[in-house]
């Protein structure tokens, strides 16, 4: 039940700190005493059965969800009801969604430049250059003038990643980024994520891609019933799970 000793940042203040966070949906206790400290540059994969609260947990980090007890500090800014703090955190935290959530009425380029233009007040020229740079990075610069609806799912998700990166965030949150994709498109998205990880981005990924977890994660977190049940480095986590619930979960997803 308690956090694995070597995995939690010992004493140092991490870029993300969740201290005794609780959340309820009405009567339902979704997050129970979440203790999590993430160091700069750490890559964390969060897995667990559906309904275990893993999406809810990472959505608390950019205040898409409120929490009722405890404290979350992101990059030194405490997340409270203070809208200023929330905006400050959101500027530094990028998020990629399962359903991409691109803006369908804007072209790819406009999707990418929107937040830099209106939130960061970047000059248009510079914003467009940044956008093109990241489109190159996700390998679809030729789609800049198209609308999201004209792209494949994998391309859309890569645009979504580029859109977040254009804000030059310090942290990236991925909420099941490959779950809505056809199998043949999963790899192209994972490749982009692996590249990003290699460059030292702080990443929290909710995903069931265990191959990805083995390759890039510094730490794998297993959640069940709103709690962090177990966390460890990938080798240990997969080869030597401690709790019964983790063993059961791993046997279910790795059996085939």
**Binding residues for other proteins, per CB under 8 A?**
62-64, 87, 90-91, 93-95, 97, 99-105, 114-115, 118-119, 147-150, 163-164, 167
Running DSSP on this structure, what letter comes out for residue 45? E
Minimum CB separation of residue 105 from other proteins in Å reads 5
Nearer to other proteins among residue 101 and residue 242 (C-beta): 101
Q: Which of 63, 65, 70 is nearest to 19 (CA)?
A: 70
Minimum CB separation of residue 104 from other proteins in Å reads 4
Nearer to other proteins among residue 95 and residue 138 (C-beta): 95
What 3-state DSSP class applies to 222?
strand
227, two tokens: 């709690």
Nearer to other proteins among residue 48 and residue 148 (C-beta): 148
253, two tokens: 């997803």
Minimum CB separation of residue 8 from other proteins in Å reads 26
Q: How many CB atoms are located within 10 Å of the residue 231 CB?
A: 24
Q: Which residue has the tokens 């080869």?
A: 239
Minimum CB separation of residue 56 from other proteins in Å reads 13
CA dihedral sign, ordered 79, 83, 89, 93: positive
Nearer to other proteins among residue 7 and residue 193 (C-beta): 193
CA distance to 76, 120, 138, 139, 153, per residue, from 131 (Å): 28, 14, 11, 12, 19
Minimum CB separation of residue 64 from other proteins in Å reads 5
Minimum CB separation of residue 147 from other proteins in Å reads 4
Nearer to other proteins among residue 8 and residue 130 (C-beta): 130
Nearer to other proteins among residue 13 and residue 68 (C-beta): 68
Number of residues that this document lists for the chain: 256
The order of strands in the sheet holding 219-224 is 93-96, 171-175, 202-206, 43-47, 219-224, 227-232
Q: Which of 6, 13, 15, 18 is nearest to 228 (CA)?
A: 18
């Amino acid at each position: 039940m308690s956090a694995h000793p070597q995995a939690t940042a010992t004493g140092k203040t991490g870029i993300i700190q969740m201290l005794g966070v609780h959340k309820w949906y009405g009567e339902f206790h979704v997050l129970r005493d979440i203790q999590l400290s993430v160091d700069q540059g750490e890559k964390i994969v969060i897995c667990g059965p559906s309904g275990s609260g893993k999406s809810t947990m990472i959505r608390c980090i950019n205040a898409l969800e409120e929490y009722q007890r405890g404290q979350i500090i992101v990059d030194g800014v405490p997340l409270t009801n203070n809208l200023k703090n929330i905006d400050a955190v959101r500027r530094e935290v990028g998020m990629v969604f399962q359903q991409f959530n691109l803006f369908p009425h804007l072209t790819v380029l406009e999707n990418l430049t929107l937040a830099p233009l209106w939130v960061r007040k970047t000059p248009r020229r510079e914003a467009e250059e940044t956008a093109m740079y990241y489109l190159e990075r996700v390998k679809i610069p030729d789609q800049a003038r198209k609308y999201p609806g004209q792209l494949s799912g994998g391309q859309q998700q890569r645009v979504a990643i580029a859109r977040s990166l254009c804000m030059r965030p310090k942290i990236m949150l991925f909420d099941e980024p490959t779950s809505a994709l056809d199998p043949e498109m999963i790899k192209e998205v994972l490749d982009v994520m692996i590249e990003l990880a290699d460059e030292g981005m702080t990443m929290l990924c909710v995903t069931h891609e265990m191959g990805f977890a083995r390759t890039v994660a510094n730490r794998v977190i297993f959640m069940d019933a709103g709690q962090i049940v177990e966390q460890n480095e990938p080798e240990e986590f997969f080869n030597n799970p401690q709790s019964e619930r983790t063993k059961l979960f791993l046997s279910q997803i790795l059996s085939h």
